[in-house]
Structure formats: structure tokens, C-alpha cells
């Protein structure tokens, strides 16, 4: 039982003009089209792809018959957070089933697993951030499915890193094929690692027919009763 909520942490990276870090995708653009000084109100216009910044992948991202982002049941967008501290991993180290079994404490179905590699702190147009991140392999993804994850988030722009299809696609296929959503390019602040219990909420834009969408994700501290 819980007595209520405590702190709320923002797990969303800032979004800004030219703020894309995946070199394989177009950069987002933000134009100021109205300003308070000249028009009496401010207004910005966005141009972006659906998989830039903190965003959620839907099954249709990689599966021809997979459902789009707007067909996810909304009750799957929140659940108990499972923080997996992987900040000690080396560059390009695989996150496999054995590693997850030793570090992930999943309690029941519907958990939101946060794969905290530390790469969110390196977010930049650098070779290390782009190509050096730890990555979830197929066996690791299958372990998460078998242990009841409803969603999985990572602090890099790709849950399986960057590279050839045979590296990047298997984890996506396993998770999304099982209906487990993926949030990429999340932000995991230091307060997340203090041993508290968290309820995680991830809300993607409701874009009809889209393979993914920008997402606001938060963690709400659960206070024991």
C-alpha cells in the first residue's frame, strides 16, 4: 500500500532546434512565427520526424502488421518503474539476459523497465555518444518480455545502439512484436537511483497511424504507508 506520492522526476530530454543526435535522421526545426513584441502573442512552428528526441516506438516501426502508436491501450503507459543501473558498463557492451537477471528486480507484470546506461549524460554530436552506447541484444529483450515488462526505456537514441540491421533490429522486433513499447533518448537524473519506489508514466502524442511519437515521461515517487 502507498500513502501517496512524493517527488516527481522528469525523464524527458530537452527538445530544441537542431537538437537531434541520431545522424541517420533529419534534424528537428523550430521556427518562431509570432512574438509577443510584434504580434501580441508567441507561437512556434515545429518540423520533426517521429523518432527524434525522447520518443516512443510502436510495433509498426519495424513490423509490417504491427499496430501504430495511437492504438496502444492507454493503461499500458504507466506502471511500477524498475531502475536497472548499468552506468558501469563499457562502451558498446551488450545488455544480455544474464546481465539483466543479475540487476533487474521486476515484480509482477506491467513493469516499466528503465535501462540506465549513463549515456544520456553524454548526449552530444560525438562519436562516443552516437556509436559507443551499451545496447540491448535479442536475448536481453526476450528476457524482458518473459518477465512481464510493459515498456522499456533507455537513455540513448536507440535501444540497440547504432549499427547494421542485424545488431539493431532483433531487440526491436522482440519487444515490439510482444506489444512492449520502447522509449528511446530518455533522461535518468541522479535522484532516480536513491532506492525509492517509482511509478513511471510515458505519454506519446496521439498521432494517427504513426510508427512512433514524441513522448513526455515522468517518474512519481511512491511513498510507503
Secondary structure of residue 160 in the 3-state scheme: coil
| Predicted local confidence at residue 156, as pLDDT | 98
pTM of the predicted protein model: 0.96
Give the dihedral sign, CA 140/204/220/2: negative
Give the dihedral sign, CA 173/174/180/184: negative
What is the average pLDDT across 121-143?
97
Identify the band that residue 225 occupies on the pLDDT scale cut at 50, 70 and 90: low
Amino acid at each position: 500500500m502507498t500513502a501517496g506520492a512524493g517527488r516527481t522526476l522528469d525523464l524527458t530530454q530537452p527538445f530544441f532546434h537542431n537538437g537531434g543526435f541520431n545522424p541517420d535522421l533529419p534534424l528537428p526545426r523550430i521556427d518562431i512565427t509570432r512574438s509577443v513584441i510584434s504580434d501580441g502573442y508567441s507561437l512556434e512552428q515545429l518540423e520533426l520526424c517521429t523518432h527524434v528526441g525522447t520518443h516512443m516506438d510502436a510495433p509498426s516501426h519495424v513490423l509490417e502488421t504491427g499496430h501504430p502508436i495511437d492504438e496502444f491501450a492507454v493503461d499500458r503507459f504507466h506502471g511500477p518503474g524498475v531502475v536497472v543501473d548499468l552506468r558501469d558498463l563499457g562502451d558498446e557492451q551488450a545488455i544480455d539476459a544474464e546481465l539483466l537477471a543479475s540487476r533487474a528486480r521486476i515484480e509482477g507484470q506491467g513493469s516499466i523497465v528503465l535501462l540506465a546506461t549513463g549515456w544520456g549524460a553524454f548526449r552530444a554530436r560525438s562519436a562516443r555518444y552516437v556509436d559507443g552506447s551499451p545496447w540491448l541484444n535479442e536475448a536481453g529483450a526476450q528476457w524482458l518480455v518473459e518477465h512481464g515488462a510493459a515498456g522499456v526505456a533507455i537513455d540513448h537514441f536507440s535501444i540497440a545502439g547504432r549499427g547494421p540491421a542485424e545488431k539493431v533490429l532483433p531487440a526491436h522486433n522482440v519487444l515490439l512484436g510482444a506489444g512492449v513499447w520502447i522509449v528511446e533518448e530518455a533522461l535518468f537524473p541522479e535522484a532516480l537511483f536513491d532506492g525509492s519506489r517509482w511509478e513511471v508514466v510515458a505519454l506519446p502524442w496521439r498521432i494517427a497511424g504513426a510508427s512512433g511519437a514524441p513522448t513526455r515521461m515522468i517518474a512519481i515517487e511512491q511513498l510507503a504507508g
